[in-house]
Structure 1
């Protein structure tokens, strides 16, 4: 999972994927390791329950029964597990070592790679690459998004499929407001979302408590970018994709009740384009 985080000075700082904040990518992901336990309980399963019906309807019938699939930003591996149960060959890739530790527990039959989505390379060629749960919204720069798309194209066979999920403007305006929380026996969370339409930047201020030799507290702010559909399409085309389609989860697919949640499907050209200087970190 790709995330950026800023921390109030009163608590240890977490910066995820935040090279511009003075940390290397791997240092940033290592900071996110502390959140893996809560993420596994609170978010990993829910995101899979939302994405799998869209995959079923849009993609899985069109790939071979033994297809090679890459789950980009796989988090704690619940989607990897669901795809393995259907006899696909699945690899999960994430930048957080502790996320992958949980993923190996949740999906012991999967292969896993510790890498940054903005710089990964794989030796395997895949029939399908998937990325779910707003992972790509956490790329705050359009050039970074384009770089990831180039990396995905390089990981796909000619005419392979790319399926990914993003929140668009309508979703940020409708859902990034107010606050919500949850309390369980071994963890609690409070989330305060907000959205700045002028900067096209969403923020989730989180306070998490989890039981680990007493109660541990983590405070952080995750940021997301509202990339426009036109920007996403242009970046895909520049990376060597065509047949690009966008599906509204609620209106087109009848999935969930969340406005502005979109699934994109694209196909790789027969020959990948040469990356430009602006698309390589």
Structure 2
């Protein structure tokens, strides 16, 4: 049996039961250590955390372990159901990152795993940034990552196969190795799940993304009444360097705070 699911949120709804196996190689503990260090360098003072596009909860679990008071939101109810099973005491809200409700005044708002790259226009990204800004304390901090041009010229331009827990994942990137800044790309993920009768069920999901050049991101932050206080290149171990290089780093990490005189919170 083969099932095909188009779109971003719908794609993750279908992928939800397999997502943890698919991302098993991700070291969220180390990633979070670097994120907390970076946040403290920017004066983080408080533990109220909003995790936007939290998925199955892997991204916020290490924050819980560090004593943060976590609220998670995601557009996929299936992903949130997986998160609720892991962390039944965490407040979880189904919400589109482009139109977040007023969830509270948070010391730290995060959006990781290139979630914002699933927005395919600058208008959508601007809406998401404004929505996140509206949930920040006046002295709060927003941290988010975006895929760089290198990611689209490499990861999104190649095919790969992995097998985890008896399930086979086939990644097919349809981007070009010489894609220009601002390009659109997509990855197709085929999941082959072995059934009890020995046959396989195939699930196909498609995940469109867009590259956003750093100078456009900083301009959109300003339009959302946020001051960009840092753009960092993310190294393979999850640590950050002070200047992002779109041809050497796979991800860029942005740090932003409410602009002085902004009416946030």
* Corresponding residue pairs, total: 250
Task: Find 1:63's aligned residue among 41, 44, 68.
Answer: 44
TM-score by length of 1: 0.80
Structure 1 segment 185-204 matched on structure 2, within 5 A: 185-196=165-176, 197-198=179-180, 200-204=183-187
Distance in 2, matches of 1:212 and 1:95, equals 29
Distance in 1, matches of 2:31 and 2:263, equals 29
1:237 aligns with 2:222: yes
- 2:23 — aligned with what? 43
TM-score by length of 2: 0.84
1:157 aligns with 2:137: yes
Cα distance change of structure 1 residues 250 and 217 upon mapping to structure 2, 3 Å threshold: same
Cα distance change of structure 1 residues 121 and 47 upon mapping to structure 2, 3 Å threshold: farther
Partner-residue secondary structure (3-state), 2:100: coil
Partner-residue secondary structure (3-state), 1:266: strand
Q: Deviations over 1:113-149 (max 9, x none)?
A: 0111111112411111101111001101110000000
Kindly indicate whether the alpha-carbon contact (under 8 Å) linking 2:15 and 2:205 is maintained by their aligned counterparts in 1.
no
State the shift of 1:221 in Å: 2.1
State the shift of 1:168 in Å: 1.4
Structure 1 segment 166-181 matched on structure 2, within 5 A: 166-181=146-161
Partner-residue secondary structure (3-state), 1:71: strand
Q: Mind listing any 5+ residue stretches in structure 2 that lack a counterpart?
A: 242-247
Structure 1 segment 116-155 matched on structure 2, within 5 A: 116-155=96-135
Worse-matched range after superposition: 36-45 or 117-126: 36-45
Q: Deviations over 1:52-85 (max 9, x none)?
A: 13312210463235x2100000011012211111
Cα distance change of structure 1 residues 207 and 13 upon mapping to structure 2, 3 Å threshold: closer
- 1:26 — aligned with what? none
Worse-matched range after superposition: 131-140 or 52-61: 52-61
Worse-matched range after superposition: 33-42 or 263-272: 263-272
Distance in 1, matches of 2:54 and 2:184, equals 23
Q: Mind listing any 5+ residue stretches in structure 1 that lack a counterpart?
A: 1-9, 18-28, 275-281
1:253 aligns with 2:235: no
Kindly indicate whether the alpha-carbon contact (under 8 Å) linking 2:185 and 2:210 is maintained by their aligned counterparts in 1.
yes
Kindly indicate whether the alpha-carbon contact (under 8 Å) linking 1:78 and 1:107 is maintained by their aligned counterparts in 2.
no
- 2:193 — aligned with what? 210
Partner-residue secondary structure (3-state), 2:175: strand
Kindly indicate whether the alpha-carbon contact (under 8 Å) linking 1:154 and 1:272 is maintained by their aligned counterparts in 2.
no
Partner-residue secondary structure (3-state), 2:61: helix
State the shift of 1:47 in Å: 6.0
Cα distance change of structure 1 residues 45 and 96 upon mapping to structure 2, 3 Å threshold: farther
Distance in 2, matches of 1:183 and 1:76, equals 20
1:15 aligns with 2:2: no
- 2:245 — aligned with what? none
Task: Find 1:269's aligned residue among 256, 259, 262.
Answer: 259
Cα distance change of structure 1 residues 123 and 178 upon mapping to structure 2, 3 Å threshold: closer
Kindly indicate whether the alpha-carbon contact (under 8 Å) linking 1:181 and 1:190 is maintained by their aligned counterparts in 2.
yes
